[in-house]
Structure 1
Amino acid sequence: MPTPPPSTPYLSLLLLVFSSSLIRASHGGGIAIYWGQNGNEGTLASTCATGRYAYVNLAFLYKFGSGQTPQINLAGHCDPASGGCTSISSGIRSCQNQGIKVMLSLGGGVGSYSLASQADARNVADYLWNNFLGGTSSARPLGDAVLDGIDFDIELGSTQYWDDLARYLSDYSKQGKKFYNNPPCQYSSGDISKLTSSWSKWVASVNAVKMFLGLPASSEAAGSGYVPPNVLTSQILPVIKKSAKYGGVMLWSKYYDDKNGYSESIKSSV
């Protein structure tokens, strides 16, 4: 499967389903990064060794639901068809040993995924639990390492039954939510008002333990919505950090962050 284009989700609300241990360990803000869709972004272990990130989202489980056999794609990092992605277990544990939470991201900009019913959502939740979280399976795609939670990056197809999937996964875990660069609420040409206004409304109305501000890590990483680091740290973060639900910042992606140095320039302010 080819590497997806820069991520620009069409849903204005995306979910991160965290384990309860992650919620207990979260104090203040942290930076989440997407890893897995560019072979030139370094290994998972080296990503965590930078010390820049509190969370890593492994992108993506791009095929699942509606009776399909689930498939993971980590671009040039490994070949899941041959079982080669089980080697990622060592990188996952390396990150977790440093206190970094590692999540599996569902969806992406290129894939085949949908949910046909509540029963289908339950089946997918069971699959995720047994193959990536705390359950058991004889064929775990990433080996025996236990991930800390699930990220929803749903950009394609129907909007139906994702809330059911999140609810079923919440039988195992707690929830956080992610606020990304959608046109009605994104930063544009020096104007932060739509972003901060939408943030305030969502924080007040959405039932979430933590909310994360999602950002492109460079102007090349998405078609719109790029926020210069100085604008983020001087104008936006002082506003959104007033909320008790503030969880931090999410960046797409490790490859673009390496090129632009975005996380390094904002880390002390997050």
Structure 2
Amino acid sequence: MAIKHQPTSLLLSLVFLALVHTSFAAGIAVYWGQNGNEGTLAETCATGRFSYINIAFLNKFGNGQTPEINLAGHCNPATNGCTIMGDGIRYCQKRGIKVMLSLGGGIGNYSLASKADARNVARYLWNNFLGGRTISRPLGNATLDGIDFDIELGSTQHWDDLARYLSAYSKYGRKVYLTGAPQCPFPDNFLGTALNTGLFDYVWVQFYNNPPCQYTSGNVDNLKSSWKVWTTSIKARRIFLGLPAAPQAAGSGFIPADVLTSQIIPVIKRSPKYGGVMLWSKYWDDQSGYSSSIRSSV
């Protein structure tokens, strides 16, 4: 059969697409901010172990409330004491690490009352943490890379609207990354509709505190089955395996590092949507050394 020569422009385009497809490097995401003994943000990034940092949490917002951020023992936002975080955020970003503000968590007072409420929250986040400007920026004048949704209480409504409004701000020149931390039972009660928008870049599914879809007493089958459902059912660019970094970090679902690296990561890596591993949290990782144990396999 004769070989048909393709135009040079077409060949270059195909090469470019191949490079884009293969250029993503899997990494470790971690939640930081809920224990004053876990080191500073800059120290966390200086370890070289993490590719994504979720600053946790903005845990009061919506329904007309004045938003509040809670960073445990790190700083006091009520006295503008968290504006010093700006230097740490920029340091992390200079090292190629994406830094997100995480909304929600397991303790707080947050929900969205309407589509208009979602728009107002998105505007607040844009002006106070992203590319907008206001005289009061709780984390200083650094521009975060995006917003993480760790929604675990309150109303299940309008998170899709918030995602759309936030994503729309990307048109102003700097992409607003959207990430989420749903529970592993599919679909997630709070984020299912939002994830279906296809706007999320990274989704770190919480494969813990949920026995039906997590690792339990040597059984990896439930986790693998759930992973397959997640990676074939939503349009997110990358899916991460969310895990506790130490046995004490969660009620259940901790996976010994040797089990993770030998029995689980080789299987889930087969998915083209595999993005890496998410850990809760930096403090517990400090206690266990978990990220160091798995990093070369991730």
The TM-score with structure 1 as length reference comes to 0.88
Aligned mates of 2:147, 2:270 — CA distance in 1: 26
> After superposition, where does 1:7-156 map in structure 2 within 5 Å?
27-156=24-153
Q: Secondary structure at the match of 2:249?
A: coil
Any gaps of 5 or more consecutive residues in structure 2?
1-19, 171-175, 178-199
Code of the residue aligned with 1:225 in structure 2: it is: G
Q: How many Å apart are 1:236 and its aligned residue?
A: 0.9
| Counterpart contact for 1:28–1:246, Cα < 8 Å | no
Q: How many Å apart are 1:232 and its aligned residue?
A: 0.9
Aligned mates of 1:229, 1:45 — CA distance in 2: 26
| Counterpart contact for 1:103–1:150, Cα < 8 Å | yes
Code of the residue aligned with 2:75 in structure 1: it is: C
Aligned CA distance change for structure 1 residues 259 and 60 (closer, same or farther; 3 Å):
same
| Counterpart contact for 1:72–1:80, Cα < 8 Å | yes
| Counterpart contact for 1:217–1:260, Cα < 8 Å | yes
Which residue does the alignment assign to 1:262?
290
Q: How many Å apart are 1:26 and its aligned residue?
A: 6.8
Code of the residue aligned with 1:178 in structure 2: it is: W
Any gaps of 5 or more consecutive residues in structure 1?
1-22
Code of the residue aligned with 1:46 in structure 2: it is: E
Q: How many Å apart are 1:184 and its aligned residue?
A: 2.6
Which residue does the alignment assign to 2:205?
179
Which residue does the alignment assign to 1:163?
160
| Counterpart contact for 1:215–1:252, Cα < 8 Å | yes
- The answer to whether residue 223 in structure 2 is matched with residue 226 in structure 1 is no
Q: How many Å apart are 1:105 and its aligned residue?
A: 0.6
Aligned mates of 2:211, 2:25 — CA distance in 1: 28
Q: Secondary structure at the match of 2:211?
A: coil
Aligned mates of 1:144, 1:155 — CA distance in 2: 29
Q: Which protein has the larger Cα radius of gyration, Structure 1 or Structure 2?
A: 2
Aligned mates of 1:68, 1:207 — CA distance in 2: 32
Between 192-201 and 251-260, the greater mean CA deviation after superposition: 192-201
Let me know the Cα RMSD of the aligned residues. Answer: 1.6
Aligned mates of 1:45, 1:107 — CA distance in 2: 23
Q: How many Å apart are 1:167 and its aligned residue?
A: 2.2
Which residue does the alignment assign to 2:180?
none
| Counterpart contact for 1:37–1:76, Cα < 8 Å | yes
Q: Secondary structure at the match of 1:84?
A: coil
Q: How many Å apart are 1:224 and its aligned residue?
A: 0.6
Give the number of aligned pairs.
248
Aligned CA distance change for structure 1 residues 266 and 90 (closer, same or farther; 3 Å):
same
Q: How many Å apart are 1:243 and its aligned residue?
A: 1.2
Which residue does the alignment assign to 2:190?
none
2:219 to 191, 208, 226: 191
Code of the residue aligned with 2:129 in structure 1: it is: F
Aligned mates of 1:124, 1:110 — CA distance in 2: 19
Code of the residue aligned with 1:91 in structure 2: it is: G
Query: Structure 1, residues 108-146: CA drift from partner, whole Å, max 9, x if none?
Result: 111110110111111111111111111111111101100
Aligned mates of 2:118, 2:215 — CA distance in 1: 34
Code of the residue aligned with 2:103 in structure 1: it is: L
Code of the residue aligned with 2:132 in structure 1: it is: G
Aligned mates of 2:81, 2:21 — CA distance in 1: 33
